[in-house]
Structure 1
């Protein structure tokens, strides 16, 4: 796949394809970047910080994860001067080929897109992960009511290994390194198998 250059927003989180990520932007380097993305209807990359701080510091250094996700700005607003609030939707994954931190602190990277997950139907032995997610979605819909915000958006592809695995990756209380490992996996069936193992380890499947 051809490479392209994009600005990066390193965070102590992982954005998955089709995932939702609200952000409050206040650092000058990111206010400028987000302003340009809004004006040009362009995208940027979310990449997890293996080492370093989300807020720029004079000491220390940032270590970026090798795989990230394109963020598309869905909604934005300026509640006060020096602050932009945005809601992002996860797009394609990308692999960093090279990166550089500019003088004012913004990271730029040459990246290549990672192929989208193949649509693989959920096998019977992993169906419990989908059933549990469907039950959770139904419960949340009742809780927030019609028009309320859910932590995921339709269409709910509950028979798609990649989609179900990604939503659980966002929801489960697992370390950042583990989420990053799951994001980087090219096989959505394997990702869902590992997610179901995590559900078992956390005791969440026992009551089903």
Structure 2
């Protein structure tokens, strides 16, 4: 297994999800510059404890599952600042991790299989319908394209895709994010998501 640079975040990234980052910490500037030069990816893992920005007294605890992030666009508006648009690719299990110079995390990761295509059963259709309405509202509010938090193709007929998009948007606790990342069953993930939507009274009529 190769050593993979890691980026701990308060929010999980899921396959095909879009992630916008502002990079200004020394530990990440060099890492991202290397990824850009090598056209390589880095791993995004949810933080179970600690803060995204390093603090002297803080201690970061990483989840043991994450998603690889591919850099799609980047720019440097000023020295010491990089702005990135990334896309999630492959989920992985974090086998081991360690902190290096300036607090940069690296780890040994084990790639996980892509979701199988699982059609949405009738019982879980409300979650897909509600997401479809949300996407339509977003498209009306702004032109479809790079500005949308959810990008096409919109696979509203697949359990995994719908579950992942909801998981990115809902205010889930870190253990919930970790649990969803670890669940290999797309229908199971969507069932959990719909239960959360139902309890929060977010399902469309």
TM-score by length of 2: 0.95
2:98 alignment partner, one of 85, 95, 100: 100
The 3-state SS of whatever aligns with 1:104 is helix
Change (3 A) 1:143 1:60: closer
Does the Cα contact within 8 Å between 2:67 and 2:88 map onto a contact in 1? yes
Does the Cα contact within 8 Å between 1:141 and 1:148 map onto a contact in 2? no
Change (3 A) 1:146 1:195: closer
State the shift of 1:56 in Å: 2.1
Paired residues in the alignment total 205
State the shift of 1:82 in Å: 0.4
| 1:6-26 CA-partner distances (Å, limit 9, x unpaired) | 100111111011111100000
Q: Could you say which residue in structure 2 is the equivalent of 1:187?
A: 185
Q: Could you say which residue in structure 2 is the equivalent of 1:90?
A: 88
CA–CA distance in 2 between the matches of 1:146 and 1:166?
Answer: 20
2:141 alignment partner, one of 140, 143, 156: 143
Q: Could you say which residue in structure 2 is the equivalent of 1:81?
A: 79
Superposition pairs of residues 168-183 of structure 1, within 5 angstroms: 168-183=166-181
State the shift of 1:148 in Å: 6.0
Superposition RMSD on alpha carbons, in Å? Answer: 1.3
TM-score by length of 1: 0.94
CA–CA distance in 2 between the matches of 1:144 and 1:129?
Answer: 23
Does the Cα contact within 8 Å between 2:115 and 2:186 map onto a contact in 1? yes
CA–CA distance in 2 between the matches of 1:81 and 1:163?
Answer: 37
State the shift of 1:158 in Å: 0.7
CA–CA distance in 2 between the matches of 1:4 and 1:186?
Answer: 23
Does the Cα contact within 8 Å between 1:4 and 1:112 map onto a contact in 2? no
Q: Could you say which residue in structure 1 is the equivalent of 2:132?
A: 134
